[in-house]
Structure 1
Amino acid sequence: MKTHYIIFSIFISVLLSCTSEKEIQVSKISIIPKPQQLEIGNDVFELTSKTTFSAPKEFEVATNFLNTFLSNGAGIELEATSENSTIVFKKDSLIVSEGYSLSVSKEGIEINSSDASGAFYAVQSLRQLLPPDLEQINLLPKKSIKIPVVKITDAPKFKYRGMHLDVSRHFFPKEFIKQYISHLSMLKMNTFHWHLTDDQGWRIEIKKHPRLTQHAAYRDSTLIGHYNDIPQHYKKERYGGFYTQEDIKEIVTYAAQLNITIIPEIEMPGHAQAAVSAYPELGCTGNQVPVASKWGVFENIYCPNQKTMTFLKDVLTETMELFPSEYIHIGGDEAPKKQWKNCAHCQQLIKKHNLKDEAGLQSWFIKEIETFVNSKGKKIIGWDEILEGGLAPNATVMSWRGTEGAVTAAKQGNDVILTPTSHAYFDYYQDDSYEEPLAIGGFLPLKKVYSFNPIPHELSKEEATHVLGAQGNIWTEYMPTTDQVEYMLFPRVLAMSEVVWSGPTKNVEKDYPNFLARVESFIQRLDVLHVNYANHLYDLESAIVKKNDSLLYKLKTHTEGKEIRYTLNKQEEKVYDTPILIIEDATIKAQVYKDNKPVGRVLNDTITYHKGLKANIQLNVEPHPAYSAGGKDALINGISGSNTRYGDKEWLGFWGDDLEIVITFPEPTKVSGISTRFYNANGQWIYSPYKGQIKLVSKGNNEFKADIEYEINPDSDKVSFEFDVSEENLTEAYKIILTIPNYGIIPEGLQGSGNPAWTFIDEIVIR
């Protein structure tokens, strides 16, 4: 379908003429996700208690939602009629699945679709044309509702449009789960991925194995603060909960009424300590272990013995009976193999089935589970670790550690769903303010979610057909309350919904301000719904730009019609209208103003004016896409990264790469010292390098070289590096070369064992 988008976020004034002219209140049209085509007229349709509707019976989900919404929000009950209806739903088999057309004229509303899903999504677009106050129950009925004349033709770009929620680390009540699902449906998402089991709690009732809810659903204490805190602190009280099978049936029915499919996740073979705690015979040691009270990865995984396989088939059978979804998610991620290596039964299985190693045993395990699930008419989804040792033939891969797993699986002919940490992990910080609530780490602002393209560039057109879509993930280690879940969800879910429905933007800088304008309008709806969203719409974006021989500091707001004011080194406040020249150390404060009033948070930047600012920098490898926001120049732009997190645009992250940094001066420069710092957060797989090398290269390629060993303080999450050039070695260098080896593979017994370590480096200050 050719995308033709006409005017979003536009104010329209219309006059409604009857026996006399009447002024209509200005209406702002703002639909998220953006329709493929939208045309706006210059009139309105007036919906009243006399408005009638007609629809095919198969469109009941759509008409029931519309009736309930209007009844609750406006006190207007629509009457169903067989002919001469004001609102008409029609079946059109030529429209693609889930697509629709919505036409609002002065005389009425017509909705066309080929299926019930398309009709429902048309109603969700119509909903966003209605006043936000209809989102709540209004005790005073409205006499009429004015709906702007529009014509919308729309269909989704991706088949799979999902959001995930982990209820194992923190448990949330049934009513909140339903509320979460209702938010997804408003945004034309069609899948809720429900993460129900993990080391810290088992949340689904399995009647054949009652100790899962009697014992595994509860832990004796819970980590508070961050995993990297030294020492760690715990809240020592029993915590947990679970959903009965009746709860789940109720939630599944509710979701179906909102056109949402629920995919349950039962983790295996790893993240199984809660289950092993309830039934020690499921593990390789047979030892009693507690339900985990802190976050991370644990060695107590399922042992692939007969008891375990019978148990898992029991669990999956009851789970599949509860969830009508064609998919069951079986996890497959972060399964340490230490116990398998020491287990005689596991080693016998490896020999019996001629497997290469423990990774091959995991592949065998997954294939056995897949065969069972397929026999029940279902398919499995697994995290990208299920690729290791050989992929099950019919499995769908959910790629989270990047896009590499998706590329590998798609090239093999398997379907894939993209959910990489770089763009889809909503448990990451969304702003670099110190006021943000505690999160696991990382940095995923709204703009980066909006820039996401779920189709990896390595795939051919044919291979790309295996990309079903994408989803955002919410892992709740650091979200103990429903308010905090909402805060991390909104508004980033708005961007994800647009990516998977409207398709990825082809020009972020051009399209993002338009998206933000619609978000600015949409939050009025969230206010009425009492959603606890994060409002960073008015945050400023700053950058150091090198132009000729000058250094310029630029500010940008992506919201239109606003003013920026700033102070430089505590001088008089000015209106920002041109980049600021930097000639010395500088402290800048800036803020957005709307209608002459400050909005959003104050931006504070401190710039260290050092000798590297006018140099050029080259890296032997690109930073990982998840941690590359500032690009290579972030290392010599004078601005240091956050003191409390590693994921902002000033910290650059490299996964498993040995790093060589070459800094070249425009002319020979006397260098007396160099400093930088590395992050050291082992719980997030981040390890400061323990050695490195520095070279100063002068004219004639004369080199001064020094090997460095870093002193790593286990009680600190950062490692500072200071190197002073002694008087006898002081030279005018034209080049500095820093060689920084990666820590290597994370040892067994530690978080992320078997994976390459991350290296994070901050500003390189040259004196």
Structure 2
Amino acid sequence: MPIKKFTVFIVFAVLFWSCQQKPSEVIVPQIIPNLQNQSIMEGNFVLRDGMGIQNDSDFSISADFLKNFIQDGSHITLKENDDIVFVKDTSISNVEGYVLEISTSQIRIKANSDQGAFYAVQTLRQLLPVGFENGSFYKNEVAIPCLKIEDEPRFQYRGMHLDVARHMFSVEFIKKYIDALAMLKMNTFHWHLTDDQGWRLEIKKYPKLQELASYRDQTLVGHFSDQPTTYDGKRYGGFYTQEDIKEVVAYAQKQHITVIPEIEMPGHAQAAISAYPELGCRGDSIKVAQTWGVFEDIFCAGKESTFTFLESVLDEVIDLFPSEYVHIGGDEAPKTHWKTCDACQNRIKDLGLKDEHELQNYFITRIEKYLNSKGRQIIGWDEILEGGLAPNATVMSWRGTNGAVEAAKAGHNVIMTPTSHCYFDYYQSTNEGEPLAIGGYLPLEKVYGFNPIPEELNQDESQYVLGVQGNLWTEYIPTERQVEYMVFPRILAMSEVAWTNPEYKNYEDFVSRVETFNMRLDALAKNYANHLYEVEGALITEKEQSFYALKTLTKDKVIRYTTNGSEPNEQSVIYEDPIPFNENMTLKAAVFKNGKQLGTTFTEHFNYHKAVGKKITISPDPSKVYAGSGAQGLINGISGSDTRYGDKEWLGFWGDDVGITIDLGEEMEINAIKTRFHNGQGQWIYAPKYIEFQFDHDSQIIEVPDSNDILVLVEFDKKVRTRYIKLIVPNYGIIPEEYQGSGNKAWTFIDEIIVN
């Protein structure tokens, strides 16, 4: 039977139920991540009590996993025979590829390695009822559809990150986190173990790291930007013993997960320096950081004792982690103390370096040479490009894709993890009830739409993109349940970005599979965020008339809405056509099925003003990853979120002066114009210092007050007659040395331009 795309589900059900033999249950395949190729055959294999698995020692991990999954999850007891067979197939070129063949008489798993076979088992797992996940499947037989799957990953590196320095999580939870990665065919766990707010790894040679550096006196309450700053007054901390680490690494190996440790250097070192002050430039006694952000106390690059310490730490790290890579950070290292440190300045002079950036390159390169001598390679955040890249380093590109492009063009391997698509500590919904997060907005659809190959790379350069990783920083994530909430379901989208070729990806189909997969997450008791039943909206303009269109991606449901601010219910108007927008209104809408509301209520406040629906142009275009609703989104009557600067209403520009022109269509009287800027300096976002307003016959410059507030309002209050309104918005410039992101261009984020 010819290969078919995986998206045709209804046909599968018809084929399965049309078979003469009707077993107890038939499962419709809805696999995540999606498969590369699949052939559907008639009939099904019935897995019964007393059947067995046959394998040789090459497939011990995958076969043991399958045996345990079946026997622990059901009333089916397995014996040793050939109903399920693992077959070594050296013709499968991809070491992680596999062929899964299910006939009416046998299941055959063919792979060239145990790793490939393990991924076949994860696919087979999703063909079994969700009750197998928690041992609640009470029958002693189950039907599995007959099919042939030929599958392999798109990328060799498929990772998830977890920060345990800001908030720490139990060994048992780390194992559950690894379980999730394995289920979704991810192969790398990036464990962020050290930072300013805590050192989480036992180092026997330096006991003060666990005695002092692993605990902070108290923790920030609320958001980093909140004023006044408050703290909880509670000592917080802990660390993983070396036995804990060995236990986690061994557990991960049983699921073909590589654990990559991250030991931050030269920056994010305040916790370590608090325990051993001589590691810093000043030798001052300091505390483990109690708030978030970037700190000036970094490892001294001029003292030999610093490298003695780090090499000794890395020796113990290497003994604990067998991974090829060690992540050494390299990000957000202010050079303030290096500039005034005699030892650092002498190092610069002795080595003939140009500046402190080249000193950082010396630091990273020296650490790399040491690790290379031990048979290991380094990964660093894209700041390791500054001052020159260490010879063999792999770059993890987080500040957009520019770092990846630069590294790949220079022949260095890169891993894609830009904030715009891969930072799961960002908000995932515009609902006001979402738990506190760092800011930003990264919904499921945006994660799913990420293409890890930058368009600036040609085919030869693209080979240096090893893969992709989702990141979870935990400043605002104190509990394990909240970790799950922020990760699921976005990890599902990331797994498909990493595994599945673009031609087999379709977001609408993916949403359907997520809806089914959520039942598996329920069985696993995962605290996932369920935003599938939310309403999405967009303003459209036709013949100078504005309308608001609503949609929901899940099938067989209706949207009901009100426009007077009242809550929608089963009696409210059913949405069928776009809603006219010609006056102020508050729209509320929700998804309903069989008279019952699913999900939360969608609310949008509309401010009808003179520019709504008019023509607007912007130069330059906003960043592709923060393009909001495009230029028209600045005059659509809808203001952006107060906290989620990456939502559909905010437009972001990196380092550019921006010109915005609004054509009102005819000359008219204007009384006031106002807009606002996001000022999240912890995320490198700065309001401009002034704005110039230009009209047909007049112009005026409005100075923007210097403020630490996260939102900055700018108002022009003067009567003018004009057809054209132009705003000149200069970029803030280079971020000052003492602030997060220092030395980099600032971002500008602008919201609705209201014309009255």
Report if TM-score (shorter chain) is over 0.5. yes
Aligned-partner Cα distance in 2 for 1:362–1:503: 38
Partner of 1:382: 380
- Offset at residue 23 of structure 1 (A): 6.1
**Is 1:521 matched with 2:521?**
no
- Offset at residue 751 of structure 1 (A): 2.6
**Counterpart mapping for 1:229-308 below 5 A:** 229-304=226-301, 305-308=303-306
Cα distance per residue 1:664-702 (max 9 Å; x no partner): 2233333222111112232332222221110112xxxxx
Of 121, 129, 134, the match for 1:131:
129
**Counterpart mapping for 1:338-349 below 5 A:** 338-349=336-347
- Offset at residue 659 of structure 1 (A): 1.4
Aligned-partner Cα distance in 2 for 1:15–1:537: 29
Percent sequence identity over aligned pairs: 54
Aligned-partner Cα distance in 1 for 2:447–2:502: 10
**Counterpart mapping for 1:432-511 below 5 A:** 432-504=430-502, 511=506
Partner of 2:39: 39
Partner of 2:13: 12
Match of 2:611, SS? helix
Aligned-partner Cα distance in 2 for 1:669–1:463: 54
- Offset at residue 9 of structure 1 (A): 4.3
Letter in 1 for 2:328: I
Q: CA 1:110 to 1:371, structure 2 compared with 1: closer, same or farther past 3 Å?
A: same
Partner of 1:576: 575
Match of 2:297, SS? coil
Aligned-partner Cα distance in 2 for 1:99–1:233: 52
Aligned-partner Cα distance in 2 for 1:185–1:605: 39
Letter in 1 for 2:444: L
Match of 1:311, SS? helix
- Offset at residue 26 of structure 1 (A): 5.2
Question: Greater shift after overlay, 614-623 or 663-672?
Answer: 663-672
- Offset at residue 582 of structure 1 (A): 1.8
Are the counterparts in 2 of residues 9 and 514 from structure 1 also a CA contact under 8 Å? no
- Offset at residue 42 of structure 1 (A): 3.5
Letter in 2 for 1:536: H
Aligned-partner Cα distance in 1 for 2:634–2:436: 26
Question: Greater shift after overlay, 67-76 or 160-169?
Answer: 67-76
Partner of 2:660: 661
Aligned-partner Cα distance in 2 for 1:7–1:102: 18
Letter in 1 for 2:347: L
Question: Greater shift after overlay, 286-295 or 570-579?
Answer: 570-579
**Counterpart mapping for 1:314-325 below 5 A:** 314-325=312-323
Aligned-partner Cα distance in 2 for 1:746–1:518: 44
Partner of 1:693: 692
Question: Greater shift after overlay, 72-81 or 397-406?
Answer: 72-81
Of 532, 539, 543, the match for 2:538:
543
Match of 1:611, SS? coil
- Offset at residue 232 of structure 1 (A): 1.1
Question: Greater shift after overlay, 35-44 or 422-431?
Answer: 35-44
Letter in 1 for 2:688: P
- Offset at residue 329 of structure 1 (A): 0.3
Are the counterparts in 2 of residues 380 and 396 from structure 1 also a CA contact under 8 Å? yes
Are the counterparts in 1 of residues 440 and 643 from structure 2 also a CA contact under 8 Å? no
Partner of 1:56: 56
Of 707, 711, 721, the match for 2:714:
721
Of 90, 97, 120, the match for 2:118:
120
What TM-score do the two structures reach when normalised by structure 1? 0.95
**Counterpart mapping for 1:63-142 below 5 A:** 63-81=63-81, 85-95=82-92, 96-138=94-136, 142=139
Aligned-partner Cα distance in 1 for 2:698–2:572: 46
Match of 1:89, SS? strand
Aligned-partner Cα distance in 2 for 1:3–1:327: 38
- Offset at residue 584 of structure 1 (A): 1.7
Aligned-partner Cα distance in 1 for 2:4–2:738: 54
Partner of 1:711: 705
Are the counterparts in 2 of residues 422 and 625 from structure 1 also a CA contact under 8 Å? no
Are the counterparts in 2 of residues 363 and 386 from structure 1 also a CA contact under 8 Å? yes
Cα distance per residue 1:175-205 (max 9 Å; x no partner): 0000000000000000000000000101111
- Offset at residue 79 of structure 1 (A): 2.1
Are the counterparts in 1 of residues 26 and 143 from structure 2 also a CA contact under 8 Å? no
**Counterpart mapping for 1:639-654 below 5 A:** 639-654=638-653
Partner of 2:557: 562
Match of 2:463, SS? helix
What TM-score do the two structures reach when normalised by structure 2? 0.96
- Offset at residue 505 of structure 1 (A): 6.0
Letter in 1 for 2:713: S
Of 701, 715, 734, the match for 1:745:
734
Cα distance per residue 1:137-194 (max 9 Å; x no partner): 34x8532122122221100000000000000000101000000000000000000000
**Is 1:603 matched with 2:602?**
yes
Partner of 1:765: 754
Q: CA 1:280 to 1:144, structure 2 compared with 1: closer, same or farther past 3 Å?
A: same
Aligned-partner Cα distance in 1 for 2:605–2:437: 24
Aligned-partner Cα distance in 2 for 1:655–1:677: 17
- Offset at residue 763 of structure 1 (A): 0.4
Aligned-partner Cα distance in 2 for 1:8–1:421: 34
- Offset at residue 3 of structure 1 (A): 8.8
Are the counterparts in 1 of residues 558 and 591 from structure 2 also a CA contact under 8 Å? yes
Name structure 2 gaps, 5 residues minimum: none
- Offset at residue 236 of structure 1 (A): 1.1
Instruction: Give the number of aligned pairs.
Output: 747
Aligned-partner Cα distance in 2 for 1:192–1:9: 33
Match of 2:28, SS? strand
- Offset at residue 534 of structure 1 (A): 0.3
Question: Greater shift after overlay, 423-432 or 680-689?
Answer: 680-689
Name structure 1 gaps, 5 residues minimum: 698-702
Are the counterparts in 2 of residues 452 and 504 from structure 1 also a CA contact under 8 Å? no
Aligned-partner Cα distance in 2 for 1:505–1:407: 24
Match of 1:90, SS? strand
Aligned-partner Cα distance in 2 for 1:398–1:3: 36
Letter in 2 for 1:376: K
Cα distance per residue 1:599-653 (max 9 Å; x no partner): 1111111111111113211111222234223222111111011134323211122
Match of 2:361, SS? helix
Aligned-partner Cα distance in 2 for 1:237–1:6: 52
- Offset at residue 336 of structure 1 (A): 0.3
**CA RMSD in angstroms, aligned pairs only:** 1.8
Aligned-partner Cα distance in 2 for 1:458–1:575: 46
Are the counterparts in 2 of residues 76 and 141 from structure 1 also a CA contact under 8 Å? no
Letter in 1 for 2:149: I
Cα distance per residue 1:207-260 (max 9 Å; x no partner): 111111111111111111101010111111211111111111111010000110
Aligned-partner Cα distance in 1 for 2:656–2:19: 69
Question: Greater shift after overlay, 243-252 or 664-673?
Answer: 664-673
Are the counterparts in 2 of residues 222 and 237 from structure 1 also a CA contact under 8 Å? yes
Cα distance per residue 1:559-588 (max 9 Å; x no partner): 122211112236983211111222222221
- Offset at residue 364 of structure 1 (A): 0.6
Of 411, 414, 420, the match for 1:413:
411
Aligned-partner Cα distance in 2 for 1:207–1:609: 65
Are the counterparts in 1 of residues 62 and 114 from structure 2 also a CA contact under 8 Å? yes
Aligned-partner Cα distance in 2 for 1:756–1:748: 12
Aligned-partner Cα distance in 2 for 1:558–1:391: 45
Partner of 2:196: 199
Partner of 2:29: 29
Match of 2:695, SS? strand
- Offset at residue 287 of structure 1 (A): 0.7
Match of 1:180, SS? helix
**Is 1:182 matched with 2:179?**
yes
Are the counterparts in 2 of residues 499 and 505 from structure 1 also a CA contact under 8 Å? no
Q: CA 1:345 to 1:49, structure 2 compared with 1: closer, same or farther past 3 Å?
A: same
- Offset at residue 547 of structure 1 (A): 1.2
Are the counterparts in 2 of residues 693 and 738 from structure 1 also a CA contact under 8 Å? yes
Q: CA 1:570 to 1:178, structure 2 compared with 1: closer, same or farther past 3 Å?
A: closer
**Counterpart mapping for 1:724-735 below 5 A:** 724-726=717-719, 730-731=720-721, 733-735=722-724
